[in-house]
Structure 1
């Protein structure tokens, strides 16, 4: 049977033209985030299965690529459950590995610690535009900072990066998990059912408010609670100051600092932003991860039709490892989605022009070949990119292929 030349479903080969853009974006990410004080780290792609299945990752825990035990630890004949077969898995995001990393290394790190991670993650998801089973994530996180300065820095750093990539007119949607919980409590939903309420609310963009009402009632919640809940969103939308509305409506239910923090974030970001975007309060924003405890945010771009970045505060996750909660907040860029948009817009890497190709006729004598190689070396020492290659019979096609990789200058060398 012949070997299969296509990648495994959900994976993809990356050709040089795309790789050039990916390398550029990666470099810009590192440069921008380092200017905000974030320090690069790296964590293993393989995590303990107990960590991955700790009920922190929401639906992503259903998509884990699990790794079987090895050697003497693997006994297929006596295995009675999945736990007997697997002890680790490929990470589905970078947040859980970061929390383990910080728990293990906190004594050697500053407080607060500003981390930058870029790496591949894996999810056994249904492949679609901008979504693969193996994909690169880029995360920045601030650990040990309890104030909303963390949220402000994360939003400013990420939007500054997107501005450098010429993205304009996008929206940063922001909400607070404590607002979601306070609204659910005020309307009489049982606390142990809050997550189900939020899962249904998260579908609002697809099914509308009538659909949300119907699903909540179908889930067994009282019609009075459902009506009260949905009406609150309508009243907020009609209010000139939604945050003020919530502050008054939820007095005694919502923690006193929540609204003030959101106002400080909005004022600070609007006053100091370096990119063209709008920061909007969106009370329907949920985010799927169950580990979020406070502020949550997403970046929505018209070019993609959905979010291309998201994050929030997760103050309880590190405590799962250490027993002591540590303030933590992070923002993750959908690297693959950003690259997809750039490719669709025929993005050209700045400074990529001017690459030179030296095409040599076959069977060139050694002395003449050395002259060509010396000329190429001199060009490289002056900062140019030079590829030396044998001349194909179909030079036109060869040049067309090289042009796709950014080569704009061609020089031909012959034996005579």
Structure 2
């Protein structure tokens, strides 16, 4: 039986041309976020199953690649439930591992702590454009800062990065979970119903206002509550002024300072940023992670379905590990989706070093081969990238393939004589 040459469903091989773009973007991430004072860290790809299934990750907890116990701990004969077989799993995001990391190392970390983490995560999801079962996430988080400075820094850092890799004209949507709850409470929905109401509200982009109204009615909520609720979304403007208008309306259902905090974030980012994007208050923005406690945000790029980044404040998660709540806020860019967009647009790495290919005909003498390698070493010492390779029979196709990898100059070594082509 022959071995399978295609990768596992939902995972992919990365070819050299894409790898160049990925490494370029990763370098931009490290440089940009480093300039904002974020510290690179790393956490294991395997996490305790108890941490991954702690009801913090929303629907992602249904998508965990679980790992069976090993050795003497694995007893198939006595196992009655899944938990008898499983003790760990591949991480589905970087936030839960970061919270465990901070809880374990807080004594030796600065406060506030600004974290940068890049790494693969795994979800048993349905693959589609820009969505894989193994993919890279890139998170920046600020732990220990309860003020809006954290949100402002996270948004500015993320949008600065996107500007550096060529994105402009996109939209940062922003909301606050407290505003979501305040709107629902003001319109007569009980706290127990919030999760269901928000799940339906989150479909607004797909099914529209009438669709949301229909699903809320079908779920059994009073029509007067539904009308009052949806009227708020129809009248509020998508800016800081809209937030402040809601503050007046919802003064019976939420702390006015929570709305003022969000409005101030929008004002500050708009005033300070030098990047080309729009920041927009979106009262329908929900985000599925149950660990969010305050500000939430997403990035939308025209022509691409779904968000290419998101995050928010999660002030209660670290307390699940330590018993003491710690302010925390993070922003994650959709690394794979950004790479997908760049590759589809034919992005080339700017300012790449000169790349030269030395092609050696089969059967040359050791003297000719040594001459080629010696010259290549000399060019490499000058900072150039030089590939030394045997010349293929189909030289035209070989050159075309190398050109796709960024090689613009060629030098050919033959048995009889040396030929140069560009």
TM-score of the two chains, using structure 2 as the length reference: 0.96
Moved over 3 A (4+): 237-241
Following the alignment from structure 1 to structure 2, what is the Cα–Cα distance between the partners of residues 303 and 415? 53
Following the alignment from structure 2 to structure 1, what is the Cα–Cα distance between the partners of residues 114 and 57? 22
Residue 366 (structure 1) shift: 2.2
**Structure 1 gaps, min length 5:** none
Q: Does 1:23 align with 2:23?
A: yes
Partner of 1:41: 41
Partner of 2:221: 221
Partner of 1:194: 194
Report Cα offsets for 1:73-123 as digits up to 9, x if no partner.
111121100011101101000000000000000001000000000000000
**Structure 2 gaps, min length 5:** 417-422
Q: How does 1:220-299 map to 2 (within 5 A)?
A: 220-237=220-237, 241-299=241-299
Following the alignment from structure 1 to structure 2, what is the Cα–Cα distance between the partners of residues 305 and 23? 24
8 Å CA contact retained: 2:240, 2:264: no
8 Å CA contact retained: 1:159, 1:274: no
Partner of 1:61: 61
C-alpha spacing 1:239/1:272, structure 2 compared with 1 (3 Å): closer
Partner of 1:321: 321
8 Å CA contact retained: 2:293, 2:314: yes
Residue 353 (structure 1) shift: 5.8
Following the alignment from structure 1 to structure 2, what is the Cα–Cα distance between the partners of residues 19 and 391? 24
Residue 198 (structure 1) shift: 0.6
Following the alignment from structure 2 to structure 1, what is the Cα–Cα distance between the partners of residues 103 and 240? 44
Following the alignment from structure 2 to structure 1, what is the Cα–Cα distance between the partners of residues 111 and 373? 52
Partner of 1:331: 331
Residue 256 (structure 1) shift: 2.8
Q: How does 1:175-214 map to 2 (within 5 A)?
A: 175-214=175-214
Following the alignment from structure 2 to structure 1, what is the Cα–Cα distance between the partners of residues 240 and 42? 45
Following the alignment from structure 1 to structure 2, what is the Cα–Cα distance between the partners of residues 241 and 66? 47
Following the alignment from structure 2 to structure 1, what is the Cα–Cα distance between the partners of residues 309 and 42? 20
Following the alignment from structure 2 to structure 1, what is the Cα–Cα distance between the partners of residues 159 and 387? 36
Following the alignment from structure 2 to structure 1, what is the Cα–Cα distance between the partners of residues 270 and 238? 23
Residue 238 (structure 1) shift: 9.7
Partner of 2:420: none
Partner of 1:157: 157
Residue 305 (structure 1) shift: 3.2
Residue 244 (structure 1) shift: 2.4
Report Cα offsets for 1:310-333 as digits up to 9, x if no partner.
000000000000000000000000
Q: Does 1:81 align with 2:81?
A: yes
8 Å CA contact retained: 2:240, 2:263: no
Report Cα offsets for 1:242-271 as digits up to 9, x if no partner.
222211111132113212212221121112
Partner of 2:144: 144
Partner of 2:135: 135
Following the alignment from structure 1 to structure 2, what is the Cα–Cα distance between the partners of residues 374 and 353? 20
Secondary structure of the structure 1 residue equivalent to 2:308:
strand
Secondary structure of the structure 1 residue equivalent to 2:236:
helix
Secondary structure of the structure 1 residue equivalent to 2:261:
helix
Secondary structure of the structure 2 residue equivalent to 1:233:
helix
8 Å CA contact retained: 2:138, 2:334: yes
Secondary structure of the structure 1 residue equivalent to 2:252:
coil
RMSD: 1.4
Residue 240 (structure 1) shift: 9.6
C-alpha spacing 1:76/1:115, structure 2 compared with 1 (3 Å): same
8 Å CA contact retained: 2:368, 2:413: no
Residue 183 (structure 1) shift: 0.9
Secondary structure of the structure 1 residue equivalent to 2:399:
helix
8 Å CA contact retained: 2:239, 2:266: no
Secondary structure of the structure 1 residue equivalent to 2:110:
coil
Secondary structure of the structure 1 residue equivalent to 2:307:
strand
Secondary structure of the structure 2 residue equivalent to 1:307:
coil
C-alpha spacing 1:239/1:129, structure 2 compared with 1 (3 Å): closer
